[in-house]
Structure 1
Amino acid sequence: MKKIDLNLLIALDVLLEECSVLAAAKRLGLSPSATSRTLARLRDATGDPILVQAGRSLVPTPHAEQLAGRLHALVQEAQSVLTPVLVPVDPGELERVFTIRANEGFVALFAPAIIAVVAKEAPRVRLHFAPKPDKDTAPLRQGTIDLDIGTTGSSAPEVRSHLLFRDRFIGVVRSNHPLLDEPVTPERYVSHGHVVTSRRGLWHGPVDDALLELGLQRDILAVVPSFSDALNVARHSDLIALVPSLCLGDVDSREKRLQSFALPVSTPEVTISAMWHPRLDADPEHRWLRQKLIATCRTMLETGPRG
């Protein structure tokens, strides 16, 4: 049986992610010259250049791009096989910083309870809630974040996930808005101006597709980067905001500054999950954090206010 160096698979995985010998060397803990020699071995083993020069950058060959999709899962499965059996965690002795990437709505609603639970059981654990500018899974793969909170995508099929909750989109307007004087029909819904949320500056979404089937179109006057921004605009104007129901906090509900209503058209349900990289799947400390976060979210949704 031909001898195979499985370390080459790990190196190939990192090289294809970074498309840079220097960046790959840093992640692999090797010198640039050693990483260049590894790339040469990979080229010899596969019979393919793997990475080729394009201007001042390296780009993967078509064959390398085909390998990339299978490679992530293969490397992580191999690492999982060689991972030690789980050992019990003593939270009181745990000393570690966990980075959780989530949008501002999740942080505002759930972070206080998560921090309180973790601090009570593991006083030396620190939580870093990082902003979520996009859905890029590279930070999970590179290990710069431990957990990613949001909707699951298809760009990283190897990423593990656990459903936290499902939500729905609702309309929100300021108190005493004329829209609510009568039942909200699709026609009345589009008769007012709108503010929408998009980190990428998109002006069109699922609600617009549903309205288009009825021959209707929203008049979108503004795009803002966060749901809290959309709520603030709605609070101080006649524009209609579109947000997940969990974003409507109990403060505005109590003070009657904002009022919500069911959308007059059907839109897809929003599913929010906790996601992590397979290399952390068997990590007992990471598993402890996942369990605490999942349990805390479940408890809050069962017993806490939803606005």
Structure 2
Amino acid sequence: MSGKHKTGHEQLRDLLQWGRSLLEEADKDGREARLLLEAATGLTHVEILVDPTRPVSRSMAEEYERNIWRRTAGEPLQQILGTADFMGFEFHVDKHVLIPRPETEELVEWALETIREEGAVRILDMCTGSGCIPVSLGLLQDGLKLHGADLSWDALEVAGGNASKHRVEVSFHQGDLFDALKGTDVEAFDLILSNPPYIESETLKELMPEVVGHEPRMALDGGPDGLAFYRRIARDARKWLKEGGWLFLEIGWNQEEAVRKILEKEGYVQITPRKDLAGHWRMVRARSADDKEVLV
């Protein structure tokens, strides 16, 4: 791999070429060098394009160099930049939260359809992480009463910061799944969403190093069969859903049948799975009904 770059009053063009080369040698996307250069210098893409020979201060060049090496070592780009895009909005992320994925955007879009069709107002995001789900819903739909819950205090700090940044009112609760709501005056919800941990414990080591080595294990590990959180959420969500309320879950590509059976066992109706844009089973929607009545 290329040696360490000698920082000084370097030109933008030289730094960009050096960073791109190093990333590509490390089997990373060389285009990320531009994003890291923009972050280090505070310049836009256009400013770099129109003035590629502009000199860069030593401190900026050194910051850029450090971040290039962090990326070649496998640290996720979003954690280095401290931001991730979700639903067209920018969210702060760090090592304490799962980096938002495009597949989760599809879950939010589906939930938003249901919210608008049925006039749902009271919404809970369980395992909220960065808070990107409730904050996005609040930005896209007025009048919602939003809640988020997570076991991690560190994650909730990130989520609270994101809600403040986007000026969306979200009530956050700390605790182990629905235990987070015990002792509160929270009323039943019209809709509950969750992107819970769903990776089988033994397969975690097979994930990409930049995932398993840098994102929180507690946001990934779904127990021996990957279904531990679905069982608990399905069992307890009905106690917090209004009759006829909806439960939305993100699932692994091979978990559709197993999650469906869990939901059926717990008495949910209108259980509907949906594939993501890649054609994989990725989410499921189910309605809570009174034990004596199946809603149609």
- The interval holding the TM-score normalised by the smaller chain is under 0.3
Q: Which has the higher contact order (CA 8 A, sep 6+)?
A: 1
Compare CA radii of gyration and give the structure with the larger one.
1
TM-score by length of 1: 0.26
TM (normalized to structure 2)? 0.27
